[in-house]
Chains A and B, each alone.
Chain A
Amino acid sequence: SQTIHQWPATLVQPVGSPLSLECTVEGTSNPNLYWYRQAAGRGLQLLFYSVGIGQISSEVPQNLSASRPQDRQFILSSKKLLLSDSGFYLCAWGSSSAGAPNTGELFFGEGSRLTVL
């Protein structure tokens, strides 16, 4: 069966420090991968998505970047955190169909709660 792991679960970082959140998927190949951010009590904002290794699409120009060094690994990074980067970050994966469009069910990790002080 497929599983998705996201870590760390919680972190508190000072303004200006770097960030690295990691997400890995097991039990599937060539998944579409996504990073979303959720502000407290709000909806999800799509940050990045990837349909293959090294292929990253950015939805919102900001202080963050994403990388996909391996098929089932998705990393969210920042060189210098801002207060506004605080939030709940969710990684998700979805099935791909040999490059064909597919927006079926997404499977989410348990999230990483980031507090920037």
Chain B
Amino acid sequence: SQQGEEDPQALSIQEGENATMNCSYKTSINNLQWYRQNSGRGLVHLILIRSNEREKHSGRLRVTLDTSKKSSSLLITASRAADTASYFCATDGDSSYKLIFGSGTRLLVRP
């Protein structure tokens, strides 16, 4: 079953704008991760946030985690056309060996 669900399913913005994607999950977690997938390619890890962390930054990426609401958000600031991709959250849920992925947000950044 799906552990994480992203919202919105699709997002279209203008280059230079910020993009915010949300993820909700169901069980307790050790960490939550965000991945990016260009069309027809494998996934690439972006950032990992542990359950005892509330916010984390990496370049233009900002991730927040609210374990009380079982939710996370990924903010991409000053978006570029090259940011066009699908973005997935993943959690370890009830296992320490596997990651369960959400359904993803398809981001389109218009030049």
Contacts and interface: CB of A to CB of B under 8 A. Distances in A.
Interface of A: 32, 34, 36, 41-44, 46, 49, 51, 57, 59, 88, 90, 92, 94, 101-111, 113
A7 to B, nearest CB: 13
B103 A108 contact: no
A34 B42 contact: no
A109 B42 CA distance: 6
B24 interface: no
B40 interface: yes
A106 B97 contact: no
B99 A103 contact: yes
A59 B99 CA distance: 12
Contacts of B33: 105-106
Contact of B42 (A41, A46, A90, A105): A90
A42 B103 contact: yes
Contacts of A44: 43, 88, 101
Contacts of A90: 42-43
Interface in B7-49: 30-31, 33, 35, 40-45, 48
Nearest to B100: A46
Contacts of B41: 110-111
A59 B45 CA distance: 22
Interface in B59-111: 88, 90, 92, 95-104, 106
B52 interface: no
